[in-house]
Structure formats: structure tokens, C-alpha cells
Amino acid sequence: MNKNTFFIGGFITFLLLIFPDVYADNSDKALDMKNCLCHCLEPRGGLLTCRYDTTTKGDSPSCRNLSNGPCMCSNYGCFRKPLPTAGACYSKCVTNTGVTPSPPTSPPSHPPKKLEDIQEFRDFRGLDDRRCSREHWKEWVKKIVARMILTVKMYPGIHNRINVPPEKTLPDGIHQFLRGYFGYLGKGDLAQLLAMDKLPSENRNTNVYAALTQATENKLRKKILDSEDDSIFPEDLMKMALDACDGSYPMAVLTAHAILKEAAKKGRSEGLQKMFMCRRTEKEQGAHHFSQILRPHANIAKKLRNLRPAGDKTGDKLGPWYHGFGILSVGAFSSKRDAYYGAYGEHLHKWINSYKDAEGAYNEEKEYIDLTFADAGYGLEEFNRFNKSAEASTIEESPNNEYSNQFQTVVPLDPEPSSTDFVEQN
């Protein structure tokens, strides 16, 4: 090494020690600038945080696709967007960091053109679920409900004990479903919660049944969300609910119904869909807002097996689930007959179109599922909260003779049919 080379190297080292920022790489400032620009994308309210991140995969199709942009926004769902290139927030970032970014090189974002392009919407409606083939579907529904009955009967420490305070809205504290619905023009607490659009979370202080499940809902919701996608059958949800409710069958079915109804009703809200469809000038932003609001309900839906047959186009995945556990709740808190005739009456009204536009149209498949759950109430009568006998009661034949023989003797069944054509992708 000659003297000149040694002198130059020493001089550069001296400069780096005295003025470290002079020759330091500007990558830190550049990253600060990119993070600042990504923060500009955060909506008001603090629900989402956005950062520059091209390495984390995230937990949604949008986040896994880097072509959507280098800014990753998460907390409630996950999506990507490109770096802003103008605006007041952009100018502030340039001033604060002293860095003028190069023109963006990431491919432009392509906002969804329709709701079906949003993954949360597809999860909520079960558009990508595997389904039972129509040829075997009725047999499959009977078997999974029979397995649910067996799960209840074999659950260690199963009981029907529950303390329900008198209803505040009626003078005699009525708890019967049909009497509260017809005799008191729908003012009974049980009728309000199970037959109308009342949501438990919005009626804790006015409905005794909504107040009952507040604590157990959190326990059951966690068990559901901790499960694998597309893995929960009615028997599995029943066991989770019994675990969360210390073996109380009435509390278990009411808690399950509360969670399922909340997810179904809030996820279906027309306001959510209109928010996306009507924000034409901000379609991408509207789509992301839609996905974030829908995500908690889609997270519940995607854990459940789809009870509808292959080829079903209704997109109503959660409807049969919350109806089924609602019917079981009527059987547990009122009577098996109330459960059956309540379910049958609803579908009869839909069939003759007496609800007009207030309810969904009559659907034969949903009626079949509902009546199968109603018939299960005859197999689970011994766990009605008014039953004081410690011994199992005789299973009475349901008015629905088509299904009743299925539950006269409940036997273990294979968890899944082995036939390859029994379950198919929708």
C-alpha cells in the first residue's frame, strides 16, 4: 500500500468519525419517508395502522399480493395500497424527512369491480366452500344433526340448570315462546330475541335472555376463532358451547345462537354493501372499508361447514346455522312444540309470501334444515329447562313424520361419508 492510498483512507475514516451523516447511507431516511407516506393512508379513527412493508405476507389475499402496493395496512383485516404521490400529507412527509421520493415503481392497484372480488365477502357467504352433493344432501343433514344429539347426550356433566329472571316487559314474567309471540303481540323477551331482528349485544339491559349470554359469548367466540377453517359441524359447535357454559344445555344453545345471529345480521347489513357500491369515486377505499367491517363476521363464517348443498346460489351460509340454534333455544327455554311450530310457521308464511319484502323468500332447503333441527328438539326434550326429572324422558314423535324416525334411536355415525361424490367443491 503506497502512502497516497493510506492518506486517503485515513482521511475518509476521519470524516466518518467526525461527520457520520455526511457519507452515511440515506436508506434510513428513505425508509422513514416511505413509512410516513404509508401513514397518510390511515383512515380516521385509529382502527388501522399502515407501514411500508414488502416482506410480511399478511393474512389476506390483498396483503399477500405485493402488486397491490408496498404499504401494508392492518389491525382489522389486512390490505395493501401504493405509496401516495401527492397531497398535503405527502408534502408534509417531504418537509419532515428532507427526502423527495422517486416516482413509484409498484404496479397500479386494481380495485375490485364487484363484491365477489373481495375475499371477506366470499368467506362470509361461503362462495368457495365445499358442499355436500344434492344427491346425498338430505341424508347428510340428518346425520350431522343426529351426531349433534349424540354429542349432547354423551357430554360429561350435561344438565339443564339455568336461572332466568322474570321478563320485565310482561306482567306475568312469561317465558314461553309462542305465547309471548302471539298472545302478547311479539313482546315476550324470548320471542323478541329469537323470532325478530333484535340483536343480543344491543338489548342487554332490556331483554333477560340477551343479558344471560354476555359472558359466555366471549368464551365461545374465542373457541370458534381458534378452530381450523371449514372444520366446525353442529356437533363441534355444540361441544364448544357446552364447554363454555359449564355443561348447561339451555345456556349453550342460546349462547351459540347469539354469536351466529350477530354475525349473520351484521354481515348482511345492506349499509355495508351500499358503502362499497355507492362510493364510485373512491371505489378502492370503499372496498377496503367494506372488507374491514365485514371481516369479524366473515371470520366466524369461514370456520363453519356450509350446511347448504352444492349448487346453492343464495349465499346465505349463516342463516341455517343461527336458525338451527335458535330453534334449539326455543326447545330448551320454552317447549319442543313451540320450537317445531315456530319453525314451520315461519316457512309457511314465507311460502304464501305474507312477509312481503320484510323477510327473505321461501327456500325449500332452508326449511328442511330448520325442521330437522326442530325435530332434534324432540330428541333433546329431557334438557328443557323446565324438566325436573333427572332421568331421560321418552322421545316423543315429532309432528314432522318425515324426520322423526331419524332420532328415535341415536347411534354413532361415521364423521364423514367415504364416498368421493358425497362432498364436493361448490
pLDDT, tens only, 306-364: 999 988 888 899 999 999 999 999 888 887 777 777 776 676 766 776 555 545 677 88
Residue predicted with more confidence, 274 or 346 = 346
Q: Are strands 49-52 and 71-75 parallel, antiparallel or unpaired?
A: antiparallel
| Whether residues 127 and 255 fall in one domain | yes
Q: What average pLDDT does range 221-234 have in this prediction? A: 93
Residue 232 has pLDDT above 90, yes or no: yes
DSSP assigned state of 381: G
Residue type present at position 148: M
Which distant-in-sequence residues (6+ apart) come within 8 Å of 285 by Cβ? 279
CA separation for the pair 187, 114 (Å, rounded): 40
Residue type present at position 143: K
| Whether residues 72 and 142 fall in one domain | no
> Which residue among 80, 110, 140 closes a domain?
110
Q: pLDDT exceeding 90 applies to what percent of the chain?
A: 26
**Which three cell numbers mark 277?**
357500491
**94-108, 144-158, 313-327: least confident range:** 94-108
| Whether residues 92 and 178 fall in one domain | no
**154-168, 272-286, 347-361, 395-409: least confident range:** 395-409
User: Does residue 5 sit within a domain?
Assistant: no
Residue 150 has pLDDT above 80, yes or no: yes
Q: How many residues does the chain have?
A: 426
Domain count, the chain: 2
Residue 137 has pLDDT above 60, yes or no: yes
| Whether residues 66 and 209 fall in one domain | no
Residue 413 has pLDDT above 60, yes or no: no
Q: What is the CA radius of gyration of the chain?
A: 28
118-122, 236-240, 332-336 — most confident range: 236-240
CA separation for the pair 424, 421 (Å, rounded): 6
| Whether residues 190 and 97 fall in one domain | no
> Which residue among 110, 133, 155 closes a domain?
110
User: Does residue 4 sit within a domain?
Assistant: no
pLDDT of residue 323: 92
73-82, 186-195, 197-206 — most confident range: 197-206
User: Does residue 393 sit within a domain?
Assistant: yes
User: Does residue 58 sit within a domain?
Assistant: yes
Q: What average pLDDT does range 270-278 have in this prediction? A: 58
| Whether residues 264 and 344 fall in one domain | yes
pLDDT of residue 19: 41
Mind listing the pLDDT tens digit for each residue in 47-58? 678 889 888 877
Torsion of CA 203, 205, 206, 212, to 10 degrees: 80
pLDDT of residue 108: 42
Helix (H) or strand (E) segment spanning residue 50 = strand 49-52
| Whether residues 257 and 279 fall in one domain | yes
| Whether residues 228 and 295 fall in one domain | yes
User: Does residue 32 sit within a domain?
Assistant: yes
CA separation for the pair 338, 178 (Å, rounded): 6
pLDDT-derived band at 272, boundaries 50, 70, 90: low
3-class DSSP assignment, residue 56: coil
CA separation for the pair 289, 48 (Å, rounded): 10
State the chain's mean pLDDT as an integer: 75
Residue 297 has pLDDT above 90, yes or no: yes
Q: What average pLDDT does range 143-161 have in this prediction? A: 94
Torsion of CA 187, 191, 193, 196, to 10 degrees: -90
CA separation for the pair 112, 276 (Å, rounded): 10
User: Does residue 294 sit within a domain?
Assistant: yes
Domain that holds residue 63: 24-110
| Whether residues 69 and 201 fall in one domain | no
> Which residue among 110, 133, 161 closes a domain?
110
User: Does residue 12 sit within a domain?
Assistant: no
| Whether residues 252 and 388 fall in one domain | yes
| Whether residues 102 and 138 fall in one domain | no
Mind listing the pLDDT tens digit for each residue in 14-32? 444 444 443 334 567 788 8
CA separation for the pair 414, 420 (Å, rounded): 14
Can you state the percent helix, strand and coil of the chain, rounding each to 5?
A: 55, 5, 40
User: Does residue 345 sit within a domain?
Assistant: yes
pLDDT of residue 328: 92
Which residue carries 359469548 as its cell? 217
pLDDT of residue 111: 64
pLDDT of residue 206: 82
The answer to whether the beta carbons of residues 407 and 149 sit under 8 Å apart is yes
Residue 182 has pLDDT above 70, yes or no: no
| Whether residues 346 and 201 fall in one domain | yes
Q: pLDDT exceeding 70 applies to what percent of the chain?
A: 68
